[in-house]
Amino acid sequence: MYSLSLHFFYPWIYLKKRIFTFCTIETGQFFSSGHTNNWAVLVCTSRFWFNYRHVANTLSVYRSVKRLGIPDSHIVLMLADDMACNYRNPKPATVFSHKNMELNVYGDDVEVDYRGYEVTVENFLRVLTGRLPPSTPRSKRLLSDDRSNILIYLTGHGGNGFLKFQDSEEISNMELADAFEQMWQKRRYNELLFIIDTCQGASMYERFYSPNLMALASSQVGEDSLSHQPDLAIGVHLMDKYTFYLLEFLEEVHPASQANMNDLFKVCPQSQCVSTPGHRTDLFQRNPGSVLITDFFGSVRKVEITKDTINLTSSVKPPIQSIAEHHVLQFVADVSSQNPKQKDWHPPDGFILGLWTLILLVFFQTYGIKHLKHIF
Amino acid sequence: STYPSLIGQCWQAHPGSVCSKGSCGKNGTRDQFQEELVIRPLHSGDIYASFQFRTLWDIDFLQERQKVSHYRLFPKSLGQVLSKFSVRELHISFTQGFWRTMQWGQPFIPSPPGAELWVWFHDTVSDVDGNWKELTNVLSGIFCASLNFIDLTNTVQPSASFKPLGLGNATDHRFLRYATLPREIVCTENLTPWKKLLPCGSKAGLSVLLKSEKLFHSSFHSQAVHIRPVCQDEQCTSKAWELRQTLNVVFDLYTSSQGKKEWSLFKMFSRTLTEACPLATSSKIYVDITDNPELFELNPVTPLLSQAVVLGDRRTYSVFDLTRAETFGQLCSLNLLLRWKGDSDMLRPLLHAERYVAGFGLQTGEIHTVIYNNHPYRAFPVLLMDSVPWYLQLYIHTLTVTSKSRDNKPSYIHYQPAKDRHRPHLLEMLIQLPPHSMTEVTVQFERALLKWTEYTPDPNHGFYVGSSVVSALVPSMVAMNTNFTQDQPLFSSFVPVKEESSYFVRVYTEPLLVNLPTPDFSMPYNVICLTCTVVAVGYGSFYNLLTRTFQVDEPSLPLEKRLANLIRRIRGVPLLA
């Protein structure tokens, strides 16, 4: 049957006519994600001119995210050093991602929220958990709620279980997992996509334990992520391989695109990337094949058009109120029924055992073995 | 109405409604906007372009009962900042590069490298420090800059150097706060929100020329926002808020023009102008044509000329009025071409200052500030303000001021010593400069040892000391214009002229970069590796010597011999070897 649904798309509004019931499968998918707004936190953690590629990585994701509709007020961009106006840059106010200066990812309309020395582990965790000093301006805050889909992108130098910030401090995978759990407890996200492009990046998402998290990394534990290509005029490597191919993939995506997460997992196979990209979806409740790329990278507003008239007179009010009340009660029930995650019991580790052995040895040495029968 | 219409051949918007005093009330528009660009060729071949965008708003923020909720041309973010923090004057500038006074002359609006913020608060404010802290945070969000690093360790309260530039003769410097961040980087992310404050954004008028790729590829780039209350007429019957956004840029002869003294708007900004901002009451370009008129060529020719006395010099300007359609000619776009041959004599700047650090090693040093008075026969006093961070501990007893190798005692000294981790040094001196002389101010200092958490992630780069400020009323060769006229060009009305015989000049010196004694941050790692190796090798060997016993190990027999031994054991016969 000829489907009478029509697709209109503006830069960030995706309208769908819900009049005809032929589209029931699409409408089911339409409301399946459950988010109403999108946020992005993009962090580059490296300082110094030779880490130009990390800034270019972050800016290329920023560019894609802006192009697909997330506005500057919903993006927290953190760049640890300034490459565009660095005195070593032969083309000031530009950051290129492709060699021969083909694509300037810095552009003319960029707003960096945290820059230079402000990019620290403490500020990053404060942004995620929302515990900022009261005088922090709005553009530096992550004002997400429980219906927000958040994209978090980290890049820099990392190792097995840590990510280095500005060559002077580190964030460990446990801290990151705890921060996400704080966000879940405070209902600061609906779903979260975490992408990391560093060496041994998969170690950073090993410890996640909060629900609705999906993670991608550019390399497995024990592997290094490699940089893509240098530009001889600028003199440094411009991008990392994983983010370069991610950018090429995202350039094909437009706000109405139906590409899903399974396509994202296929970005940069080992033949192109040399390292093996990894992903983790066990904490995510939906099937990755039904999650659209634009659920995280774009800001797609869903608008429902109906031809029925809704009467907002006083006689109709009580039923609407009770529906609202019902929704509120349902929500409260949902929240309270979600028990805090039961942590699995682990046997005590070596340190505790060794300590108790030492204590027992000293005791029996002083008082003699004959007291053993009094213990058991 | 501001809908564009076909005037002649070009699409032009109607000029904005002229709102002179008295005619504002009826349709409610109480603000007006003017934009201006001044192009001044410098004698070294470089070219200096100065943009000024001014919004005048006939409203009084300081009246408590008046709640402002409708913003038209004045940006809402700044208006809310002014009313919330009871700000009377706000001056903020972001500069990349250093202004070379000896090669380029005096700028219209001086600014130090990095970020500079100075604010006069209204005298009803009870907690100035609290307001200052919140104000810096809010401004860091508006301008995408790290202004939140401004705190009490780099804020000073100058007593005489920064008098209000607008109305009011406040002398209580407890309501003044001044801070600079010499390390602050200026890039497109600072220009983007600055452009969004303009009424026309970057879509129409002179602001279309503000393209970051060209602006930051220059020798000097400075963007600033100045907010102050002003009088709207000579008798000062009505007051208004003035917001000036200024952008000064100097394009280098060799990097932007390939060594040729031929400049055009397209070469400088990679854009040409097609229309004035429809919301502007006046939109003009002034080109300085005073120097060598016979060797100077300006295309397209304009009959409008204007004379102005600015910075003690009478200059002639060609004026291009963008609100008139004829300016854009047949092609509906304006591209100014300037060409000149030969050199010109530059008027030697009368006041000039330099600063450098002398000494060797990482313990002590000396700061030298040198101020030049190039006037041939007049002496005049200057106010020198130095704000040195607490980790350079100044020894004020070693302060010497010498002019022409003789001691020169300052007539006014205001010194506030530093408090470790709380307050920087503040030194303000009024020094009389003899004519045609060089005055040197030296003071010795000692470098402090910081705590290891106070070092930046790249401590070997060094630590910055903000520029010194030299403010003076320099005697003028030409009589300055003290009359108040509405049509005065913006560049000559920035600093209020109080008397005819002198003009106000502020000169900023270079910032200093000093190295502090920096510990080796890799030492904890090195110590752990070394200690663990020594302990493992030393104690391990010792333990083995004491406790290891040697046992003779019988070699294992081949299979048939082992079977034979098994049978022999059963039989009870001695075993094989």
Q: What is the pLDDT of residues B9-25, one digit of tens each?
A: 566 555 544 444 444 44
Which of A29-38, A57-66, A296-305 comes out lowest in average pLDDT? A29-38
Do B326 and B380 lie in a common domain? Answer: no
Do B188 and B311 lie in a common domain? Answer: yes
- Rounded-to-integer distance, Cα B400 and Cα B370, Å: 12
Do B168 and B253 lie in a common domain? Answer: yes
Minimum distance, in Å, between the CA of residue A217 and any CA atom of chain B: 27
Local confidence band at A343 (pLDDT 50, 70, 90 cut-offs)? low
Give me the count of residues in chain A: 376
Residues 251-310 of B with CB under 8 A from A: none
Vertex B560 angle, CA B556 and B566, to 5°: 80
Q: Which of B19, B7, B2, B1 is nearest to B56 (CA)?
A: B19
| Residue B106, in any domain of the structure | yes
| Residue B150, in any domain of the structure | yes
Which CATH number goes with the domain that contains B381? 2.60.40.740
Burial (CB < 10 A; 0-12, 13-18, 19+), residue A371, is exposed
Do B327 and B419 lie in a common domain? Answer: no
Vertex A81 angle, CA A76 and A86, to 5°: 125
Residue A79 tokens, joined: 């760049």
Contact of B450 with B475, CB cutoff 8 Å = no
HSE of A208, CA atoms in CB hemisphere, 13 A: 24
The residues, ordered by sequence, that sit 6+ positions from B350 with a Cβ below 8 Å of its Cβ are: B312, B373, B374, B375, B474, B475, B505
**Which residues, in sequence order, are bridge partners of residue A302?**
A14
pLDDT tens for each residue of B200-221: 988 899 999 999 999 999 999 9
What is the total count of domains within chain B? 2
ipTM of the complex: 0.86
Name the strand (E) or helix (H) holding B524.
Answer: helix B523-534
| Residue B225, in any domain of the structure | yes
Task: Please tell me the predicted confidence (pLDDT) of residue A25.
Answer: 45
Do B182 and B215 lie in a common domain? Answer: yes
For residue B410, count other CB atoms closer than 10 A to its CB.
18
Do B295 and B390 lie in a common domain? Answer: no
- Record the pTM: 0.83
- Rounded-to-integer distance, Cα A49 and Cα A42, Å: 19
Q: Which of B293, B300, B287 is nearest to B40 (CA)?
A: B287
Instruction: Return the SS3 of B547.
Output: helix
Do B280 and B374 lie in a common domain? Answer: no
User: DSSP letters along B58-103, please?
Assistant: ---TT-TT------SSS-HHHHHHHHHTTEEEEEEEEEES---HHH
Question: Which residues of A have a CB under 8 Å from any CB of B?
Answer: 47-48, 82, 84-85, 91-94, 106-113, 115-118, 133, 135-140, 166-168
Among the listed residues A44, A199, A268, A273, the single catalytic one is A199
Do B213 and B336 lie in a common domain? Answer: yes
pLDDT tens for each residue of A176-229: 999 999 999 999 999 999 999 999 999 999 999 999 999 999 999 998 999 998
Minimum distance, in Å, between the CA of residue B30 and any CA atom of chain A: 29
pLDDT tens for each residue of A290-320: 899 999 998 877 677 888 888 877 654 454 4
pLDDT > 70: percent of chain A:
79
The answer to whether the Cβ–Cβ distance between B193 and A106 falls below 8 Å is: no
Q: Which of A47, A94, A112 sits opposite B457 (nearest CB)?
A: A47
Task: Please tell me the predicted confidence (pLDDT) of residue A323.
Answer: 53
Q: Which of B185, B212, B456 sits opposite A82 (nearest CB)?
A: B185
- Give me the mean pLDDT over the A235-247 stretch: 94
| Residue B9, in any domain of the structure | no
- Rounded-to-integer distance, Cα A203 and Cα A163, Å: 10
Burial (CB < 10 A; 0-12, 13-18, 19+), residue B360, is exposed
At which of B297, B317, B340 does a domain end? Answer: B340
Q: Which of A134, A112, A132 is nearest to A124 (CA)?
A: A132
| Residue B411, in any domain of the structure | yes
B77 touches chain A (CB under 8 A): no
Task: Please tell me the predicted confidence (pLDDT) of residue A373.
Answer: 66
Contact of B41 with B338, CB cutoff 8 Å = yes
Residues in chain A closer than 8 A to B212 (CB atoms): 93, 108
Strands B296-299 and B337-340: antiparallel
- Rounded-to-integer distance, Cα A143 and Cα A76, Å: 10
Contact of B401 with B441, CB cutoff 8 Å = yes
Residue A56 has pLDDT above 90, yes or no: yes
Local confidence band at B496 (pLDDT 50, 70, 90 cut-offs)? confident
pLDDT tens for each residue of B519-556: 888 888 899 999 999 999 999 999 999 999 988 887 88
- Is residue A157 annotated as part of the catalytic site, yes or no? yes
Delineate the domains of chain A, giving CATH numbers in brackets: 34-297 (3.40.50.1460)
Domain of B479 in residue numbering reads as 351-485+492-514
Number of inter-chain CB pairs under 8 A, A vs B: 83
Task: Please tell me the predicted confidence (pLDDT) of residue A304.
Answer: 78
Whole-number mean pLDDT of chain A?
84
Residues in chain B closer than 8 A to A117 (CB atoms): 146, 149, 456-457
Q: Which of B138, B185, B216 sits opposite A137 (nearest CB)?
A: B138
| Residue B345, in any domain of the structure | no
Chain B residue with Cα closest to A77: B144
Residue B68 tokens, joined: 């402002």
| Residue B563, in any domain of the structure | no
Do B257 and B300 lie in a common domain? Answer: yes
Do B335 and B357 lie in a common domain? Answer: no
Do B427 and B332 lie in a common domain? Answer: no
CA distances from B142 to A2, B67, B84, B113, B139 (A): 52, 22, 15, 20, 5
Do B325 and B355 lie in a common domain? Answer: no
At which of B308, B340, B372 does a domain end? Answer: B340
The answer to whether the Cβ–Cβ distance between A112 and B144 falls below 8 Å is: yes
Q: Which of B186, B182, B75, B90 is nearest to B132 (CA)?
A: B90
Instruction: Return the SS3 of B288.
Output: strand
- Give me the mean pLDDT over the B14-37 stretch: 61
| Residue B232, in any domain of the structure | yes
